[in-house]
Structure 1
């Protein structure tokens, strides 16, 4: 067991951590790269035949909400002070320095909106569809193709649940579920919004519902576990950190772990369904197309070919090219869903196999990354990080989770081809 750190040392970490949180506050990536409604209206007015006029000039008319040079210098100063005050080899200092470097990359990416530089930095921060999970393993694209083939066999045999719940009712249902999930944080709000592209989005202590979106009960279950039990929960747990307050804010490196946890929650709570999985695989395939040279129109037509409406095809294609130009490299953040699911599942599987179950709940102590998990365990022992206040039920019951993972680990060693041959006469 590590020794508790002195109060003065804790105060130094808290001060540096607070500075880091304050410095990143005005940086809002999705707000800085979204396209306004006039782009969509013009695209449909031209019968979906012309590339949206989105390029560096388009973004130049939409200045960032902060001074990039001033923020770059601010993060440089914080990184310098972290080294001066904590030393080169301090574990918590190493995490905070990496966050400073990531935020500087984010600023440079946003400065490059509409140019090839935007896409290149996006790949560096969030990854590429051609990235392999491990040496010699399939790539993210391979995973998307494999899942698409499996989903094609399911087809629409399961039927489609009609979306009959309008936004006001959805808000009321989700607000009730959030009140039950976070009884100590009644300030968690669910409300309608006109300013988002997705059906819903989560913030530090809220979930926004798009005003014109329609839902069914399965949609709301997914929103509750994905946005509420993961994204809001990890934000609140980070806010309750008394010293390492930086855990309340997620740099790009935390996106993969956070989205991976959210998708894993969907799966183990039986909230997910084939159409949901198809949406995630199509995002991966669309990014791969754009990385291979496809422009906005070609990705739009890909979605049309997958059976999406014109409006949904536009919304999905614009997710791929937001921040870039309509013929440039993609914004690769949406790779985080499938990539994060695989990496997070593997981490939990290994934690169970090696008997390190105490590490698993630490995934929820804030906006964490897998590479920091061992360090976070040390910081808990040192009293610098507190365990998560809110844990979703599947992760609160480590007995059940470890049993599920043990069975799952065994089943992955079976040959599906051999099983298919053996079951040929009964299936």
Structure 2
């Protein structure tokens, strides 16, 4: 029996989408660029006075785990077949072709580990600290400096909650929260890991906790919101897509939206705090320093001057230079946090102002990018994309979110300098 045209069309998209998902599977950026423990041990053995000996020869000892030439050819074939089978202007095809091109650029970047091209390609994929949000607007560096000044005024008067929760207990607490958040996907796992730089990291259906990290309850709330209700939720929502399965996997262009949503969630659920915001702004400032010619020692000392412990300063500096050399251009992925927050907030603000509230939950239907949101709305209407199964509470309640955004939009138009003058006698 002949398959209906609409069903045949869906089968073609699903087939191409599955091929794209399979093609990118071996490409693991963070695994390819991270430094091993021997680099840290040597740095401290030399009393933090010498640049880490990280160069193309060092990375050559760390195999990528895939054949770059073969992967490029696979992605090129998929891109060609997308055009042949869907045409040049098909909306789904345009998204998938862009993903093919991004993944090929990622391959170029990891092939250039330790070389000048690594940092240049990173800037193409993730942006630069000197990027402006819009013509004439402040840059990411300007935003980082402005936030740093505000945080300096806050100081440490709020106190710091002691970190007394070890990794095993943190795993148990977060596992219980994930089981409650994703009752239909009880396979979401929380476990300890020795192989991550950050205190925690999320994958498609798991959260890894660094074995030697300590936490407090605020940390765990933030991890549940950031890693669980955004990164894991969007992965699961993408996995539940019956046709556009590519939404389960995020190319670099989706990183900005993903991290922007995660930081926005931290803020509107009151999970964030000044020290957390300082960590994000310091990452932006450190990348700007490296882009301006600073080397690993300069960035390490920047963190020490900001009051970070020696081990933390090394970890943060290594985030900046991973994949590069110790005096090369930085890996700029960490710009996505502040950049994504501003861009995603502006998108939601505009959606509320224009009365297009139905667009907002689609941010969670998978690993989305802001530039695809209009297209995703059309694909939902056509039945090619299904709405997200899991939505965090602030985004599930559009009444409350839109009210919050309306007030926020009005307050943004007030002059803070004028308010400061008016309130001088009472504050």
* Interval of TM-score (by shorter of Structure 1 and Structure 2): over 0.9
Which deviations, in whole Å up to 9, do the C-alpha atoms of 1:367-386 show, x marking residues without a partner?
Answer: 00000000000000110000
Which deviations, in whole Å up to 9, do the C-alpha atoms of 1:245-273 show, x marking residues without a partner?
Answer: 00000000000000000000000000000
Which deviations, in whole Å up to 9, do the C-alpha atoms of 1:349-402 show, x marking residues without a partner?
Answer: 000000000000000000000000000000001100000000000000000000
Which contiguous aligned blocks of 4+ residues in structure 1 show a shift greater than 4 angstroms? 1-5
Change (3 A) 1:227 1:165: same
What secondary structure sits across from 2:195 in the alignment? coil
Q: Is the 8 A contact 1:352 1:402 kept in 2?
A: yes
Shift of 1:5: 7.3
Shift of 1:3: 17
Within 2, Cα distance between the matches of 1:426 and 1:42? 55
Q: Is the 8 A contact 1:4 1:381 kept in 2?
A: no
Q: Does 1:204 align with 2:204?
A: yes
TM-score normalized by the length of structure 2? 0.99
Q: Is the 8 A contact 1:3 1:382 kept in 2?
A: no
Within 2, Cα distance between the matches of 1:287 and 1:423? 37
Which deviations, in whole Å up to 9, do the C-alpha atoms of 1:21-77 show, x marking residues without a partner?
Answer: 000000000000000000000000000000000011110111210000000011000
Which deviations, in whole Å up to 9, do the C-alpha atoms of 1:271-298 show, x marking residues without a partner?
Answer: 0000000000000000000000000000
> What is the total number of aligned residue pairs between the two structures?
427
Change (3 A) 1:373 1:41: same
What secondary structure sits across from 2:88 in the alignment? coil
Change (3 A) 1:90 1:45: same
What secondary structure sits across from 1:6 in the alignment? helix
Q: Does 1:190 align with 2:199?
A: no
Shift of 1:4: 11
Please show how residues 214-253 of structure 1 align to structure 2 within 5 Å.
214-253=214-253
Please show how residues 6-25 of structure 1 align to structure 2 within 5 Å.
6-25=6-25
Within 2, Cα distance between the matches of 1:408 and 1:161? 29
Q: Is the 8 A contact 1:4 1:383 kept in 2?
A: no
Within 2, Cα distance between the matches of 1:245 and 1:63? 29
What secondary structure sits across from 1:191 in the alignment? strand
Please show how residues 272-283 of structure 1 align to structure 2 within 5 Å.
272-283=272-283
Within 1, Cα distance between the matches of 2:305 and 2:323? 25
Within 2, Cα distance between the matches of 1:62 and 1:389? 39
Change (3 A) 1:4 1:220: farther
Shift of 1:426: 0.5
Q: CA RMSD in A?
A: 2.1
Structure 2, unaligned stretches of length 5 or more?
Answer: none
Structure 1, unaligned stretches of length 5 or more?
Answer: none
Within 2, Cα distance between the matches of 1:157 and 1:281? 19
Which residue of structure 1 aligns with residue 421 of structure 2? Answer: 421
Change (3 A) 1:421 1:8: same
Change (3 A) 1:178 1:4: farther
Please show how residues 261-280 of structure 1 align to structure 2 within 5 Å.
261-280=261-280
Shift of 1:2: 24
Which residue of structure 2 aligns with residue 256 of structure 1? Answer: 256
What secondary structure sits across from 2:5 in the alignment? coil
What secondary structure sits across from 2:192 in the alignment? strand
TM-score normalized by the length of structure 1? 0.99
